[in-house]
Amino acid sequence: MEPILNRMLYKLRLLCLIAILAVIVVTSTSGTAGAASTKDTDSEIIALFQENRFEEIIQTAANAQRLNAWENLLLAKSYERLGYYHRSNRVLKVLFNQNPDYRYFIPYFIAKNYEELKDYSNALKWYGLIVNSRIQSSETVKFMFLINAFERVVAIREDDPRLMPQCVKVLEKSLKHYPEASYYLGLLYDEHGDRQMAAAFYYEMLNNEREVNKKKTLERVIKDDVLIRSLNELGLRNTRLAEMLKEREFYEGAIYVSYLLPENARTLELRAYCNYKKRDYSAALGIYQSYYNKYKDPEALKQISLCYYMTGRHNQSYEYLKKYLLVMTGREDPGIDVMYLQHELERSRLNIKEYIEQAESSIEKYGFHEKVDRIIQNTFYRAIEVNEEDLGVKFLKKNYKSIKGTSFQAWALYILGIYKDEDYLHSMVDELPGSYYYFSAAPLIEVKPSLLRDADRYYNQGRMDKAFDIYIQLYSSGIQIEYVSSRILHIISDEEPYRSFFQLAAMERGRINSPLFDLLRMGLYDELKDIILVSYDSIDREQRMFLNYILSRVYYKTGDVYRGVLHAERMFNGYEVNNLLFLPKEILYLLYPNVYVDIINKTLSESSNNLDPYFILALIREESRYNNRAKSSKGAIGLMQLLPQTANWMANRNLSEEELKDPQENIEIGIKYVSYLHSRFDSLPEILAAYNGGPNNVKKWLARRPDNSTNKFIEEIPFTETRIFVKRVIRSYNMYMEIYGKESSL
C-alpha cells in the first residue's frame, strides 16, 4: 500500500502546485509589454527544461515571485510534457493575450495541445487564427508556422472526418491572402474522396504564379489517374503536365505521364531524358536506341554514347561517339560536353602528346568553362601517370590562365608551385583559405613582415582586393594574426554569403533577436524540428541557410552528430564560399565537431604511437561524416569505415555488423589499424593513402618515385579516389587544428 499512497500524495502535491500557479501565471505575465529574449536571463527554469526536469519546473515556478514570458512558456511546455494539456493551455492563453509578439506561434502550441486531447474542434479554431492572419512569405518564421498550421488543418479532417465542412471553411477563408491554400483544399477534398473538387483546387495551384506547393501538388496528382483526367478536362494537357514535372526534376512522374502521351519523337526523347537524369542509364540507353532507330536523330547517338559511358562500357561508348562525330562533320559544333567525353574516352587510346594536342584544341575553342577546367586537370594527371612530368607541367604552365573555377585555379597554381617555381604559391595562398592547397602551400612560402605596410596602405585607399590578398599571405605565415584576421573579417563581412554567416553568429550570441534562436536556447528541440522540416520546401532558398543552421544545432543538441553535420553543410548549398577559414567559429564548430573525445583519447593513450587526436577526428569526418551506421557499397562499416575482414584481423575475432557500428568498438579497432599503418609508413599522407588504397599499393607507389617530396607523392597517387581522400583528410585535420588546436587540446 505504501508505494500507492506515496504516488497519491505526490499527485496531490503536484495538483496543489498547479492551483497556485494558476494565480502566479496571470500575475507574472500581466503588464508584459512584449516578448523578452532568452538572452536576457540565465533562468533556472530554462536549465531545468533542457534536462527534462519538468516536475521541478512546476515547483520552482510555484515558489517564484515572478516569471518572465519565456519562463511561462516553458512552464506551459512542462505541463504538456507531463500530459497536463488543459493546464498548459491555460498558461499559453494568458501569454497569447498579454504578448502580441507571440500571436503567430502560441496559437499553434495551443492547437497541438487540443489535438492531444482529441478536441479537434477547438484545435481547428486556433489553427484558423494563424491561417487567416496576414503573413508575408518574407516573414520567414511566421510563414513557417502558417505552413504547419495548414498541414494540421488537413490532418484534423483525417482524425475527425465530421469536421470536413469546418476545415473547408477555414481554408477557403485563407484563400484571399494565400493562393497556396488551394493545395491544402485540394488535399482535403482528395482525402475526402471528391476527386473533381480536388482537381479544381490542384488546377488553381498549378496555374498560380508562385512556386510554393507546386511540387507537392504534382507529387499528389501523379499518383492518381482520375485526378490526371480531371486536370485534362480543366485544360491542363498531359504534355504540359509532363514538362512541369520535368522542370521540377520530378523525373519518375514525368516518365509515368509520358506513357499517357502519343508515342512520337518528343515523347520518346522526354522519357529517355528523364531516365538518364534519374540515373537509370540502362533504361535510358534502350529508349535512346529505339529513338535513333526510328527517327535517325544524330543527337541520340551522343546520348547513347553517354549512357554506355555512365554504365562503364567505354568501348561501346567510344564507337557511338565516333559515329556521332562522323555524322556531325561539317555541321554545327558538337559542343564542350562532347569534347569532354571524347577527351575521357581517348585517355588511354592516344599517346600523351596527342592527348595534350586534343586538350589544347578544346581549350582554344571553349576556354573558361568548367569542363575545360576538368580537361586541363585530367591532362596533367595523365602526363604524370605515364611518367611525363615535364610535359604535364609545361602544358599546365601554358594553359592555367584559361581556368575558370576558383578551386581549379588554386590547384593549378599549387601544382606549378611544387613542380615549377615556388613563386606561384604566393598567388595561390589567397585563393582558397581553408583548402588543402592553402594548408599545403603555406609552409612553403616566405612572407616578409614588411608587407603589412603595403596591405594597410591598400586598405586605407579602399583597394580591398589588393589588401585582402596580402593579408591572407601574412595570416598564412603567422604574422600579427589577431590584427591581420580582424582586417580580413572586416573586408569579407559585408559580402554575401559571409554577411549572412556573421548574422547567424550574432543571433547565436544574442546580439540579434530571433524567435527560433530563443526556442533553441530554451530546449524546444522537438518543436523546432517539426516546424522547420514540415515547412522547409516552402521557404525561399535564401532563408534556408538560417533554417539549416537551426536544424544543425538541434541535431547536435539531441545527439545526432551525422545530421548535425549534414545540415551544417547544407548551409552552403548554392553559395561559393572561398574563405572557409574565416567563417565565424559558431559555423566552424558545426562543420568540424569535437566529438567522441573520450573514446579517442583513451584509445590513443593505450597505444604506443604518437598520433594526433585531431587526425583521427579528421579521418572519421571524411570517412563517414560521423554516421556510426554508415555502410559503403564495398562493405566498409561504421565511423572509420572498416572492412569486416580488416576489423576481424585487428580484433583477432569475428565481429558482427552491429558491433562494428558501435562507436567505441569501431574507433578502437580503427585506431589500432591506423597504428599498424603508422608502423609501416613514415608520413600521414602515406598512412592515409594506405588506409584508402591499400598498403601494398602504397609500397609500389613509393618505390616508383622514391625521391619525391610528400606533396608530390600525393599528386602522383594513381587512384583518383585515394588522391582526393588524402587531400580531404589533410584539409580537415588542418581545419581541426585551426579551430581547436590553438585554443585547447582534446
Examine the residue annotation and report whether 623 is marked as an active-site residue of this protein.
yes
Contact between 385 and 351 (Cβ < 8 Å) = no
Query: Cα separation of 83 and 116, whole Å?
Result: 9
Residue 697's pLDDT is 97
Query: Where does residue 58 rank: exposed (0-12), middle (13-18), buried (19+ CB within 10 A)?
Result: buried
Dihedral in degrees, nearest 10, Cα atoms 349, 355, 361, 365:
70
Contact between 735 and 435 (Cβ < 8 Å) = no
- Single out the catalytic residue among 71, 388, 508, 623: 623
Query: Cα separation of 62 and 71, whole Å?
Result: 12
Q: What are phi and psi of 642, to 5 degrees?
A: -90, 135
Dihedral sign (CA 559, 563, 566, 572):
negative
Query: Cα separation of 394 and 65, whole Å?
Result: 79
Q: For 117-143, what is each residue's pLDDT tens digit?
A: 999 999 999 999 999 888 776 688 889
Helices (H), 346-435: 352-366, 370-385, 389-399, 406-419, 423-429
Dihedral in degrees, nearest 10, Cα atoms 715, 720, 721, 726:
0
Q: Provide the 8-state DSSP code for 642.
A: B
Query: Cα separation of 117 and 101, whole Å?
Result: 26
CA nearest to 203, candidates 189, 411, 150, 518: 189
Residue 42's pLDDT is 52
What are the grid coordinates assigned to 144, written together? Answer: 513557417
Residue by residue, DSSP assigns 658-669 as HHHHSHHHHHHH
Residue environment code for 694-703, b if the CB has 16+ CB neighbours within 10 A, otherwise e: eeebbeebee
Query: Where does residue 662 rank: exposed (0-12), middle (13-18), buried (19+ CB within 10 A)?
Result: middle
Residues in the chain with pLDDT values less than 70: 1-42, 137-138, 742-746
Q: Provide the 8-state DSSP code for 163.
A: G
Q: What residue type is 140 in one-letter code?
A: T
Residue 137's pLDDT is 63
Query: Cα separation of 254 and 258, whole Å?
Result: 6
Residue 100's pLDDT is 80
289: CB partners within 8 A, 6+ apart: 300, 304
Q: Provide the 8-state DSSP code for 37.
A: P
Q: Provide the 8-state DSSP code for 741.
A: I
Other CB atoms within a 10 A radius of the CB of residue 664 amount to: 15
CA nearest to 681, candidates 667, 701, 711, 666: 701
Write down the residue that cell numbers 585607399 correspond to: 461
Q: Provide the 8-state DSSP code for 447.
A: -
Query: Cα separation of 523 and 536, whole Å?
Result: 20
Contact between 217 and 184 (Cβ < 8 Å) = no
SS3 letters across 544-611: HHHHHHHHHHHHHHCCCHHHHHHHHHHCCCCCCCCCHHHCCHHHHHHHCCCCCHHHHHHHHHCCCCCC
- If phi > 0 it is left, if psi is from -120 to 50 it is alpha, else beta; for residue 333 that is beta
Cis peptide before 497 (omega within 30 of 0): yes
525: CB partners within 8 A, 6+ apart: 554, 557, 558
Residue 136's pLDDT is 72
Query: Cα separation of 301 and 323, whole Å?
Result: 7
222: CB partners within 8 A, 6+ apart: 228, 245, 250, 253, 256, 257
Query: Where does residue 494 rank: exposed (0-12), middle (13-18), buried (19+ CB within 10 A)?
Result: exposed
Query: Cα separation of 344 and 309, whole Å?
Result: 10
Query: Cα separation of 96 and 578, whole Å?
Result: 45
Whole-structure pTM value: 0.90
The number of residues making up the chain comes to 746
Query: Cα separation of 652 and 650, whole Å?
Result: 6
Q: Which helix (DSSP H) or strand (DSSP E) does residue 459 occupy?
A: helix 451-460
CA nearest to 228, candidates 213, 240, 214: 240
CA nearest to 324, candidates 311, 671, 309, 528: 309
Write down the residue that cell numbers 482535403 correspond to: 188
Q: What are phi and psi of 115, to 5 degrees?
A: -65, -40
Q: Residue 112, CB half-sphere, CA atoms under 13 Å: how many? A: 20
Longest dimension (CA), the chain: 98
What are the grid coordinates assigned to 413, written together? Answer: 597554381
Residue environment code for 211-250, b if the CB has 16+ CB neighbours within 10 A, otherwise e: ebbbbbbbebbbebeebbebbeeeebebbebbebbbeeeb
Query: Cα separation of 426 and 371, whole Å?
Result: 26
